[in-house]
């Protein structure tokens, strides 16, 4: 089944994420860009009609190459900030797409049961 064109942005983000993670072990552990560098990269006038989503994802990915710490890399000895294993990313994408309010069972039965199952481990 062919997906609508607007979903190609998800594929673009996945490509950027895969490229980022595939080079993480070679990266310097600290961010290489300063706050000023990142502001220059990301600040731009915004149009009344909105921006091209693919360009926004490309710009964020480009800034992420030099503006992030390689916290999942082998030379990072800072805080434990979480996992970016492909399975963790995939699960995060699913829950972001579902956009559930997980406060009680009636709001999202799945979220409630997943939390229950996880707490039993």
- What's residue 82's pLDDT? 65
* Model confidence pLDDT, tens digit, residues 20-65: 999 988 989 999 999 999 999 999 998 999 999 999 999 999 999 9
Q: Is the pLDDT assigned to residue 83 strictly greater than 70?
A: no
Opening angle at CA 45, ends 42 and 46, nearest 5: 100
Q: Where are the domains of the chain?
A: 1-81, 85-121
Distance CA 57, CA 75 (A): 27
- What's residue 62's pLDDT? 96
- Residue 1 gets which letter from DSSP? -
Q: 1-81 belongs to which CATH class? A: mainly alpha
Question: Which of the two residues, 45 and 86, has the higher pLDDT score?
Answer: 45
- Two tokens at 54? 């693919």
Distance CA 96, CA 76 (A): 27
For residue 64, what are the contacts with CB-CB under 8 A and spacing of at least 6?
16, 20
- Two tokens at 115? 């939390």
Opening angle at CA 7, ends 6 and 9, nearest 5: 90
Average pLDDT over the chain reads 88
Is-contact 13 50, C-beta < 8 A? no
**What is the pLDDT averaged over residues 1-8?**
77
Question: Which of the two residues, 4 and 29, has the higher pLDDT score?
Answer: 29
- What's residue 75's pLDDT? 78
Write 83-86 long-range contacts (CB < 8 A, 24+). Answer: 84/21, 86/21
- What's residue 81's pLDDT? 73
* Model confidence pLDDT, tens digit, residues 64-82: 999 999 888 877 888 877 6
């Amino acid at each position: 089944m062919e997906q609508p064109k607007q979903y190609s942005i998800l594929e673009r983000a996945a490509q950027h994420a895969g490229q980022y993670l595939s080079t993480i072990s070679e990266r310097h552990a600290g961010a290489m860009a300063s706050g000023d560098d990142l502001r220059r990269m990301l600040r731009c006038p915004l149009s009344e009609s909105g921006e091209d989503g693919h360009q926004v994802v490309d710009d964020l990915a480009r800034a992420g190459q030099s503006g992030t710490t390689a916290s999942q890399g082998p030379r990072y000895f800072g805080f434990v900030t979480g996992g970016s294993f492909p399975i963790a990313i995939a699960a995060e994408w699913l829950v972001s797409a579902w956009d559930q309010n997980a406060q009680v069972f009636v709001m999202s039965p799945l979220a409630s049961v997943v939390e229950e199952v996880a707490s039993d481990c």
